[in-house]
Chains A and B, each alone.
Chain A
Amino acid sequence: MNDKNEESIESSGCNRRQFFSKLSITLGGVAALIIGFPIVGFLLSPFLRKVPEVWRPVGSVDSFKVGTTVVVKYLDASPLPWAGVTANTAAWLRRDSEDKFIAFSINCTHLGCPVRWLSDAELFMCPCHGGVYYKDGEVAAGPPPKPLPRYPVRVRNGQVEIMASPIPITTI
């Protein structure tokens, strides 16, 4: 065998090898995609699920006294069948006047802890880092960066209804 021949065998062998390794790597990538797609899809599925707009009745209009703030409990917008008690949610409902209701989120705008209403002091207080809000939800003291968020609320057929909403997330 002369030199030239050897060289060409080597180079063609190299090309074959390059081809094989590229082929295998590409196929491996395709396989990873095929297997990975459903995992990523599943992880992201909560985002893809369309949550309907649901108004939840929380009590008859007469059951709320003007000038009071009470906790009302209701169900999430579209709980899955096995959600159990985790499907429950709550809001602070204030009857400001005869026909004006305000529904406050129970989640502190600082880091989301459940605020409590102190009726005599007319303040919401947060148990986590001592955030305080006035009765209209404005920040009175502590670390909360924003007033208490409000949920849409309406009166239908003598019933007060709150729109079941996602937990408000404070962003910057």
Chain B
Amino acid sequence: MRVLKNAWQWFDDRTGISGSIGPIARHPVPPGTGWWYVFGSATLIAFTIQVVTGIALSLMYVPSSSQAHDSLLFITNEAFLGRFLRGMHHFGASAMMLLVGIHMIRVFLMGAYKYPREMSWISGVALFAFTIIMAFTGQLLRWDQNAIWSTIVAAEQAGRVPIIGEWIARFILAGGTIGAVTLSRFFAFHVFFIPALIYAFIGLHLYLVLRNGISDPPKPGQPVEPGTYRNWYHSLIKNRGVPFWPDAAWRDVVFGVVVIAVIALLAIFVGPPEIGKPPDPSIIEAYPRPDWYFLWIFALFALLPANIESYVIFLGPLIVGLILILLPFIWNKGERSPRRRPWAVGIVLVIVIMVGTLWIEGIRAPWSPDFSAQPLPVEVVGATSGPVHEGAELFYSKGCEFCHAISGHGGHRGPDLTYIGDSLSPDEMTWRILNGGLNMPAFGGNLTPEELDSLVAFLQSRRVRTGAKVVD
């Protein structure tokens, strides 16, 4: 014991570590910073999990276009704790995205980005952007079929940037096609470039917290005045400040441990996302979907009107980024309390509702044809021979059912046709089938007159009465 103590004293004397760290840990913070203040440190903890589990995974992951898939299968199915580590890394990423978002909303709602903490906000916006890039590149390192098609989708999106679009697209693909260099490139970005930037910006972000102090809990009627704020803050800290460690830090620790525990439990009981089919671009039975945090963007691209879509793809992120960076300059003083800032609350609500709705749509993906649809069962068709029966078969074989549902079977891209016989006459139906329109292909060149008659006969039999008969 004594030896240890002596060793520590020697070390501390030569490095001065307790003299420099101690005051930082105990720096005074405003009183009353409650649980709302834990999300920043929790994000940092999630990031630390990512670093540690990422390093561990890199011990076995082979960043090669041809072998990554095999090494991932090995990590998941055979390596000791490999599945758990992948799970931790996956849910750690989810936690980071979620916590960054909550932290940003918290800072925005409490006006903590206002004078003199503008640079904290701006460095935070950069960290937010890096987190998104990490999430995206990480998803691609799961080098399966979904990953390569996500890469292609990303390249196509970049292609919509005016003038240099094609060039950026080729840059993302690392050439004309997916190939040997593509994965190495994402690997380098995911484990070297971007993390280096994240470290640097976390350093800046934390330094700024020390320089300008943790923002005081906002009170209605206590606006920020750039001329007097610093003096006011200093006297607040001087008179009523409490040491960060341990008065405020204990909440960070408690919440941080909860975050780690939740991530570990999810990693054990839910497990990492499955490794899909091999990254072979010639396997066309693909159904590319992004991870949950990008699902709402996926939905957005599916729902945007075609004529503005290209502009939204490249102007959207640009405008959002610009607004985020300019925010602390536009509103850098005045009220901080959300109770006096209805606009701020409104904006957050609108964004959350919008993203949430897109999210739900993204999960349902009603715009995608349902390739898993099966021929309609006899009980639904209500006939085993004759035109209605034949029409029902055509309804499947001609692809109608991929987009139209009848009695709960089929896709949702087009209108539900369960009771279509009640609303369209045979002539109207014929016209619509032959000519298409309203986002429906024209089937004129693909149906014989007899086939057309059967199909119409079948669709005419779709009436409320028919439905009732099925229930009988």
| Residues of A near any B CB (own CB < 8 A) | 43-44, 46-47, 49, 51, 71, 73-74, 76-77, 79-90, 106-107, 110-116, 118, 120-123, 125-130, 132, 134, 140-143, 145, 165-167, 169-172
Contact = CB atoms under 8 A, between A and B. Distances in A.
Interface string B189-226: 00000000000000000000000000000000000000
A172 B310 contact: yes
Contacts of B368: 127-130
29 contacts: A46-B170, A46-B181, A47-B175, A76-B179, A79-B179, A86-B65, A89-B177, A107-B152, A112-B156, A113-B149, A113-B153, A113-B286, A116-B285, A121-B399, A121-B443, A121-B446, A125-B402, A127-B368, A127-B369, A130-B403, A141-B436, A141-B440, A143-B302, A167-B176, A169-B165, A169-B169, A171-B160, A172-B165, A172-B310
Contact of A112 (B152, B185, B441): B152
Chain B, interface residues (CB within 8 Å), range: 35 or more
Nearest to A136: B445
Nearest to B441: A140
Contacts of A115: 284
Contacts of A132: 369, 441
Interface stretch (B45-53, B273-281, B317-325): B273-281
B306 A143 contact: yes
Given A83-B179, A85-B280, A129-B302, 11 more contacts: A82-B65, A82-B66, A84-B67, A86-B179, A86-B183, A88-B280, A113-B288, A118-B399, A129-B301, A167-B176, A169-B156
A44 B175 CA distance: 9
A44 B160 CA distance: 20
Contacts of A77: 176-177
A27 B287 CA distance: 53
Contacts, number: 187
Given A73-B282, A123-B399, A169 B159 contact: yes
Given A128-B288, A129-B301, A134-B441, A86 B280 contact: yes
A47 B153 CA distance: 20
B176 A85 contact: no
Nearest to A73: B282
Contacts of A112: 149, 152-153, 155-156
